[in-house]
A and B are shown apart, each in its own frame.
Chain A
Amino acid sequence: MGVGIEVINLNAWYGTNHTLQDINLHIPANHATALIGPSGCGKSTFVRCLNRMHETNPVGRVTGTVRIGDLDIYADAKPVQIRRRVGMVFQRPNPFPTMSIYDNVAAGLKLNGYSNRRALDEIVEKSLRNSALWDEVKDDLKKKSGASLSGGQQQRLCIARALAVDPEVLLMDEPASALDPVSTSKIEDLIFQLKSQYTIVIVTHNMQQAARVAEKTGFFLNGRMVEFDSTHKIFTNPSDKRTEDYITGRFG
């Protein structure tokens, strides 16, 4: 089951570029939360702060508090521990090309020394079923490489890979932006099914996508969070003029 995320006074920099300024929000457990905003507004940086990926960039810097469940991830834990609990799906599908489909899904567990074969088989099957890929790949799990799949399948494989470690939070950084419409709708269906079990944070450029999958939506602009409310309110009756301008297509 997922846990909620509490963000307090989060600031982030790339070198001297202040990309995130005083972000405060509460992301509810077991719901999908969408983050929208024009390019370069800081939404990707924000999700990368939630699993401490931002600091893997040599010039990245973060201050503030992020609490995932009861864990203050910047004070009480090391990045490696956080990332085992928080799964991430990236914009471009990035399966491991030298591994079979099976090994791709099992990668997170094998990495951490999990070696119970039978349990691993079950987890791989469950993760692939959860990511709606099982029926398409079950016959050549160990024969085909992760790179032999189509783009949409690869992205679902990446989702399966993230799910296999049973994360509490699933971060998705524009998971469908490199995919065709059919694959996109599959991914959206998937998010819809997964959000009862996981806390999902999804960054998207596509406002209809946010409206379709998320209960809560946050609007980012120039490194600040302008508005955070229920998706319905954001899209029908936003309280901020800038949000309204953005969702009605006046800029961005």
Chain B
Amino acid sequence: MSQVHLQPEPSEPGGQQPTVTTAPVVSAERRFLLSRGNSVNADRFFSWLMLLCGLSIFVIVGLIAFELVVRSELSWHKFGLSFFYRSFTDPYTHVTTFWDPVNQFFGARPFVYGTIVSSLLALIIAVPLAIGVAVFLTEMCPRVLRSPLAFLTELLAAIPSVIYGLWAVFVLVPILREQINPFLIRMLGWTGFFADDNPTGLGYMSAGVILAIMILPIISSLTREVMTAVPHSQREAVLALGATRWEMIRMGVLRNARIGIVGSIILGLGRALGETMAVAMVIGATPEIHRSLLANGSSMATVIANEYAEAVGDMHLSALTEIGLALFIVTIIVNFFAQLLIWAVTRGTPAQAR
């Protein structure tokens, strides 16, 4: 090993100068490559094309925002910011409402509330389940079961949401109504979150459960991916310290994958916020706010889908568009908080995991 042959330097007196004796023969492939020119224009064209693709995102987002703002102008001018909080009392019936097309009064509060409550419920149910599925699939599942199970989870994501809605109406809602809601009312009725005043079984709870099932595959398949990406050496490091399997998963896998897991949860939340069809079928479509999770409600996407086609008058249309604008903004705010969360999670680690 110590006797490495060093090439004598050309300037050394004893060194042999490399001498070129053969005439330069240009091969066919060399000639072809030389004939290709410097490719500057192709490169320039390519970079402009890609720039255009990148800018198209800005253009699309800008156009959507512009359209939403323009079409909701009427409602903007009439209600201003109070659109999102003010309620209204009918002069004849003295009933307080937030949304009254007959009297041309519109307020978005019950819809914002319904969207947030059903999405949070969905996250509460789906996140532990999805992470459990991912842990089982990556760390514990027998090889034979792994790909069918993974395939089934992905398949859940491919089912159209109207099918989920139908399934919820015919299967999930009766189960909730007959079995689960009475149990919740008995055990947790005292909190006020589970009141016994809605015999339909529709409501925030049903919407939350169906949303949980719908976002489960996104969260679990992304979590599975980031968990698989954790290097094997991390698992071995924890095992070699005398960790049990659960400790190995917690310290060696989940801890390293947590940023990715937070990301997958955010993506799930994004889908839950915007989900329309399945929620519209089970949330009850009532523009009211209730503390009870078993009560009927509505959500932003739901009210747009249900009422836009048969809106009465320009003000109604404008109010619905403003809800669309608000959903747009809520999504942006959620993503902002998600970024904040990621920042908080990653703050402790100056270096990246990989």
Contact = CB atoms under 8 A, between A and B. Distances in A.
B350 A94 contact: no
A147 B241 CA distance: 18
Contact of B243 (A58, A82, A111, A143): A111
Contact of B236 (A56, A87, A108, A161): A56
A96 B251 contact: yes
A156 to B, nearest CB: 15
Contacts of B353: 97-98, 147
B258 A158 contact: no
A96 B256 contact: yes
B251 A111 contact: yes
A94 B237 contact: yes
Given A147-B352, A148-B351, 6 more contacts: A94-B231, A95-B237, A96-B255, A98-B353, A108-B241, A111-B247
Given A97-B349, A107-B251, A84 B242 contact: yes
Contact of A81 (B143, B231, B234, B242): B242
Nearest to B254: A98
A51 interface: yes
Contacts of A237: none
Contacts of B348: 98, 100, 145
B256 A98 contact: yes
Nearest to A88: B240
A83 B349 contact: no
B242 A53 contact: no
A159 B197 CA distance: 63
| A-B complex: 5 closest residue pairs judged by Cβ atoms | A84-B242, A108-B241, A88-B240, A94-B233, A83-B242
B169 interface: no
Of listed A90, A95, A96, residue having the most chain B CB within 10 A = A96
A15 to B, nearest CB: 13
Contact of B255 (A83, A98, A112, A148): A98
Interface of B: 1, 143, 231, 233-234, 236-244, 247, 251-252, 255-256, 258, 348-354
A51 B240 contact: yes
Nearest to B256: A98
A97 B243 contact: no
Interface in A70-97: 80-85, 87-88, 90, 92, 94-97
A18 interface: no
A67 interface: no
A61 B19 CA distance: 61
Contact of A147 (B236, B240, B242, B351): B351
Contacts of B247: 111
A95 B351 CA distance: 12
A149 to B, nearest CB: 9
A144 interface: yes
B242 A80 contact: yes
Contacts of A108: 241-242
A108 B350 CA distance: 22
B259 to A, nearest CB: 9
A36 to B, nearest CB: 15
A98 B236 contact: no
Contacts of A97: 256, 349, 351-354
Interface in A145-201: 145, 147-148, 158, 161-162, 165
Contacts of B251: 96, 107, 111
Contacts of A81: 242
12 contacts: A51-B240, A56-B236, A83-B241, A83-B242, A84-B241, A94-B236, A96-B256, A97-B256, A97-B354, A108-B241, A147-B349, A147-B352
A115 B243 CA distance: 16
A87 B238 CA distance: 11
Contact of A96 (B1, B234, B258): B234
A90 B237 contact: yes
A55 to B, nearest CB: 11
B236 A111 contact: no
A94 B348 CA distance: 18
A83 B256 contact: no
A249 B3 CA distance: 13
Contacts of A90: 233, 236-237, 240
Contacts of B239: 53, 56, 83
